Amino acid sequence: MLVLMGVGYVVMQGGFSVFGDRTAGKERSHNEKDMAALYEVPQSDLKSNRYVKDMMPTKVGDYTVTSQGVRMTLDKDEKLDTSVDNGAMKYHVNRIQVLKNEARTEQAQSIVRKSMNVPDLSKNYMSAQIDYTVKNESQRRVSSDGVTTVSYGYGNVMTPLGGLVNGGSVSADGINPGETQSGYVIVWIPKNAAQDFKQFSIEFASTYDESGQQISSKAPKTTVDF
């Protein structure tokens, strides 16, 4: 099963994460199919002072390599402060992390293409994780699909049908009355947008209560500069 963890791609096989601890042998399945999924990080990376093992980099210029063979270098890490008021739902976009990625193997490229639903994604590509919070000021427990679109100039629009993957907590857990919950969305940044990527527009999905009644409609498109 393919899972997205932050901006890192994770494959769950036989009950373990091949993005995580490479030494946790007791939790691993040792059949050939599982082992074939692992990418061995070269010594040149392990010796680099910019390499971060088994976790996302927190300093611009540092990088990690997933167990599928995707190198992810932190290119930008910006705090944001954009609020979106949509009736009973209050959103706050608070952070963006931009990454330069390299799929080092055909398997890695195939995994990324499927997870992002971008069939022609090149081995070298840009992506971003956008973090936000949402507060439920209604009197009912609500659920949401998170973000419906992230768009840039040049007519590029990312949606769940291609180029956009929502973090699952908001839709899976629901939001109780008065509760604030954190969410994130991962998006592909096409080359023509990546050259001068300083702005994006975001739309949040409609929300519904447990009976299926709509609590808020889709939020208006909001432009964020950074």
pLDDT-derived band at 5 (thresholds 50, 70, 90) equals very low
Mean pLDDT on 123-140: 97
Compute CA 60 distance to the chain's CA centroid, rounded to the nearest angstrom.
Answer: 18
Q: Find the domain containing 8 and state its range.
A: 2-225
Per-residue confidence band for 7, with pLDDT thresholds at 50, 70 and 90: very low
Half-sphere exposure of 113 (CA within 13 A, CB side): 13
61 pLDDT more than 70: yes
Give residue 175's pLDDT: 94
The two three-digit tokens of residue 181, written as one number = 């919950």
Q: Tell whether the model's pLDDT for residue 146 goes beyond 90.
A: yes
Into how many domains does the chain fold? Answer: 1
Name the residue type at position 224.
Answer: V
Q: What is the pLDDT of residue 50?
A: 97
Is pLDDT of 27 > 90?
no
Task: Assess whether pLDDT exceeds 50 at residue 119.
Answer: yes
Mean pLDDT across 104-132? 95
Q: How far is CA 7 from CA 33, 131, 210, 219, in A?
A: 25, 11, 30, 24
Distances (CA, A) of 172 to 85, 96, 178, 204: 22, 23, 18, 16
pLDDT at 37 (0 to 100) = 64
Q: In terms of C-beta density within 10 A (0-12 exposed, 13-18 middle, 19 or more buried), how is residue 155 classed? A: exposed
Whole-number average pLDDT of the chain: 85
State residue 226's pLDDT score: 92
pLDDT at 34 > cutoff 50: no
Q: How confident is the model at residue 163 (pLDDT cuts 50, 70, 90)?
A: very high
Task: Tell me the average pLDDT across 97-107.
Answer: 96
Buried b (16+ CB within 10 A) or exposed e, 70-90: bbbbbbeeeeeeeebebebbe
Question: Which range is most confident: 27-36, 149-158, 171-180, 211-220?
Answer: 211-220
176 has a pLDDT exceeding 80: yes
pLDDT tens digits, 190-223? 999 998 899 999 999 999 999 999 999 999 999 9
Q: What is the CATH number of the domain that holds 22?
A: 2.60.40
